[in-house]
A and B are shown apart, each in its own frame.
Chain A
Amino acid sequence: MNKANIRKIIVVTDEVLTEQGQKIDPPTRRAAAIAVIANPFAGRFVEDLSELMDIGEELGGLLGARAVAALGVAPAQIESYGKAALVGEDGELEHAAAILHPKLGKPLRAAVEKGAALVPSSKKRGGMGTPLDIPLGHKDAAFVRSHFDGMEVRVNDAPRANEIVVAIAVTDSGRPLPRVGGLQKHEAKGEDGLR
């Protein structure tokens, strides 16, 4: 039985083959899995947000697995990740926080194997079709500079006033033409989540 009342799930991938005339080989690839869910607390103040925390736990596993599957790679091949939530107008920003922060991370990390690093996140309130930028960072070492990125997603008919859009993005690569230095992925130890 789902905890979340899910209206729809959207999965999107993008694959960059050339950039500024340079061939990208292999192509960089990103995927986002997005759920449009009912906000059980829309239109009223509720102190205890644990229901949303449980929904976050469910969606961390569900959306994490869907995003990884869309890239068609083994979980260990995922290199970066991020999460975001967009609350419809009758909800509050705290609802996004309740979904994203307490419980979503653990099942997401299981879906990508490991994940020593903080899952970067963003949140906002907005209407239907509002663009949501999901921040991306290396999953095991946050300082890997080639993997700082963001993926924009939007759903034209969501969130309605009483809904929340929850999104998880993963990649099997960094930016297309990384050349700003910093920690390289092959140098990262991936133990402390930072380097």
Chain B
Amino acid sequence: MPELKIRKIVTGTEDIFHEGGPVAATPRKRGWCLAVIANPYAGRYEPDIQPFMDDLKPLGMEMAKRLIAALGVPAGEVDGYGKGIIVGGGGELEHAALWHAPGGYSMREHIPDSLAIVPSTKKVGGPGTRLDVPVTHKTASYVRSHFDALEVGIEDAPRADEMVVALVMTVGPRIHARAGGLDVSGIKLRDGQK
């Protein structure tokens, strides 16, 4: 089984007070946690890559825990999430798909009422590559006030034999949400969508 090698962990949060409109009584929060890890399959074609998913599970759990702590709110207040991955040039897009299960389930494990699929994005790129990680509501994907994305990246990662895995979480709707559609009070089906 490949060993998980972490080079660095980057964690960030934003407190958003306004975006040109009324100042919110409670600032909206957004946060991200990124880990730069060695890609055990870089530089060759490896047919059997699924074992690495198990190695990623504890990392996902640790990242989710750190991110909730950095946001400084109880896990139940987190109401939007997303995940993403950038694979360095020595790897392939298929390696990125290994993050789906460990990334998504680690957040859903920590966040109550997280019925919705965790939206995701992936790419292959070099150091400094930016990734727009999509965000949707944790209980119902169609909640319009919570559609968002966070741009993340690290200037010196991923190197060719690395990958950057990302989790993002948000607390509250877009700061001046007013585009209509399904809102949180309208969630009824509890099917993860509406």
Contact = CB atoms under 8 A, between A and B. Distances in A.
Do A and B make up one complex? Answer: yes
Interface of A: 6-19, 27, 70, 129, 131, 152, 156
Nearest to A154: B153
Contacts of B7: 16-19
A10 B13 contact: yes
Nearest to A18: B7
A14 B16 contact: no
B19 A7 contact: yes
Contacts of A129: 151
Interface residues of B, number: 22
A65 to B, nearest CB: 14
Given A131-B155, A156-B151, A17 B8 contact: yes
Contacts of A27: 8
A12 B155 contact: no
A8 B14 CA distance: 7
B8 A16 contact: yes
A8 B24 CA distance: 11
B161 to A, nearest CB: 11
Interface of B is mostly: strand
B5 interface: yes
Nearest to A6: B17
Given A17-B7, A156-B151, A11 B16 contact: no
By CB atoms of chain A within 10 A, which of B7, B18, B20, B27 has the most? B7
Contacts of B14: 8-11
A11 B12 contact: yes
Interface of B: 5-20, 27, 70, 130, 151, 154-155
B15 A13 contact: no
A31 to B, nearest CB: 9
Nearest to B14: A10
B155 A152 contact: yes
A14 B8 contact: yes
B10 A14 contact: yes
A14 B5 contact: no
8 contacts: A8-B16, A10-B15, A11-B12, A12-B13, A16-B8, A17-B8, A129-B151, A152-B155
A16 B10 CA distance: 9
B18 A13 contact: no
Nearest to B8: A16
A16 B151 CA distance: 21
Contacts of B13: 10-12
A131 B127 CA distance: 14
Given A14-B9, A18-B7, A19-B7, A8 B155 contact: no
A70 to B, nearest CB: 8
Nearest to A2: B17
A133 to B, nearest CB: 9
Given A10-B14, A14-B154, 9 more contacts: A8-B14, A9-B14, A10-B15, A11-B70, A12-B12, A14-B8, A19-B7, A70-B70, A156-B151
Given A17-B6, A18-B5, A131-B155, A7 B11 contact: no
A129 B8 CA distance: 23
Contacts of B27: 8
Please list the 10 inter-chain residue pairs (A to B) with the smallest Cβ-Cβ separation, ordered nearest first.
A12-B12, A156-B151, A14-B10, A8-B16, A16-B8, A152-B155, A9-B15, A10-B14, A15-B9, A18-B7
Contacts of B12: 10-13
